[in-house]
Amino acid sequence: CGGMQNKNHENCVTVQIYLGLTVFLMLCVLQTLLSEKVTQMMEWASKRSVIRMNGDKFRRFVKAPPRNYSVVIMFTALQPQRQCGVCRQADEEFQVLANSWRYSSAFTNKVFFASVDFDEGSDVFQMLNMNSAPTFLHFPPKGKPRRTDTYELQVRGFAAEQLARWVADRTDVQIRVIRPPNYAGPLLLGFLLAVIGGLAYLRRHNLEFLFNKNVWAFSALCFVLIMTSGQMWNHIRGPPYAHKNPSTGQVSYIHGSSQAQFVAETHIVLLFNAAVTMGMVLLCEAATSDMDIGKRKIMCVAGIGLVMLFFSWLLSIFRAKYHGYPYSFLLS
C-alpha cells in the first residue's frame, strides 16, 4: 500500500509539472502573439495615423485575443459611387484626431485608430449588423464593446474635439486636438474689412449712410437670425450637413431628435424666420406707410401670407423634433 501511495504521489507531481509547463508554454505563446500584434499595429500607425483594415485584419487584430490595446474604428463608405458626403467630412475630422494623437509626445500603444470601408470590408459590416455609415466604435482591450462604446454621431457631431472627449471617456487617454493652420477665415475677414474700408474711403465726404437707421436695423436683424437659427451650435458641435440613409438613399435635412440638428436644418430655420420677419415688416409698413391704399393692401395681404405660411412650417418642424407637442397651425 505504501508503494502504491508513493507511486500515485509521483504521478500527481508529474501531472502538475506537465500542467505547469503547458500553462507556461501557452502564456509564452500568447505573449509572443501579443507582442507581434502590437509591433505590427505600431508599424502601420507609423505609416498612417488611421490604419486601413479589411475583414482579415479586423478579425486578427481587433476581434481575436490576446489584445491589450484599444482600437477606435470609423466604419465608413468613401467610394465615390456611395455618394456619402458626410463620410468624407467625418473622415477629415477623424484624420485630424488620429494625427493629433500620433504626433503628440504622449503617444503610446494603448490606443490605435483605424477605419473599415464598406467596399473593403463588407463582411465586417455584416458581422456587426451595421447598416449605416459613418459609425464610430471603440473596441476595449478586454470584453465586448458596450453601448457607450458606440459614438452618438447624431447627437454630438463628428468634430475632432467631440471625438477626443469621447475617446477620453472610454480609454482615459487625453488627446489635444491640433488642427493644421487654416488661413481662410483671417483672409476672408481681412478682405471684408478692406472692402468696408475702401467704401468708407470712397464716400469719405458723404458718410450719412452710417447713420441710416434702416442699414443698422437690417444688420441687426441678420445677426439675430443667424444666432437664433443655431449657427453657433453648429460651430461648437460640428454636425453633418444632412443624413443619407445608405439602405434607402433617402436624405434627411431635419434631425428627428430635439437634442441634435443638421447644418441644413439651421439654414431652413433661418430662411423661415427671415420670411416671418419679412411678413411682420410688410405689415408694419402697410399700417404706417404714406403709399396709396392699393399698394398698402397688397403689402398687408403679402405680410399676412408670409407670417401664416412660414410660421406654420416652423411649428411643423418643432412638432417633428419635439414628439408629442400638441399644437399646430395650418399644417399638421
Return averaged pLDDT per consecutive 10 residues of the chain, 332 residues in all: 54 65 62 86 90 91 88 91 82 92 89 93 90 90 88 83 92 88 77 84 74 81 84 74 71 79 87 91 87 88 91 87 76 67
pLDDT given at position 163:
92
pLDDT given at position 250:
77
pLDDT given at position 98:
93
- Cβ neighbours of residue 169 closer than 8 Å, sequence gap 6 or more: 148
List, in sequence order, every residue forming a beta bridge with 35; answer none if it has no partner: none
For 267-308, how does the pLDDT look when each residue is reduced to its tens digit (9 = 90+)?
A: 898 999 999 999 998 998 888 888 888 888 898 999 999 999
- The sign of the CA dihedral 304, 305, 307, 308 is positive
- Cβ neighbours of residue 156 closer than 8 Å, sequence gap 6 or more: 162, 166, 237, 260
Taking every pair of Cα atoms in the chain, the longest distance, rounded to a whole number of angstroms, is 128
Strand runs labelled E in the chain:
50-53, 70-76, 111-117, 135-139, 243-244, 251-252
- Cβ neighbours of residue 111 closer than 8 Å, sequence gap 6 or more: 69, 70, 71, 72, 101, 167, 171, 173
Q: How many CB atoms lie within 10 A of CB 197?
A: 10
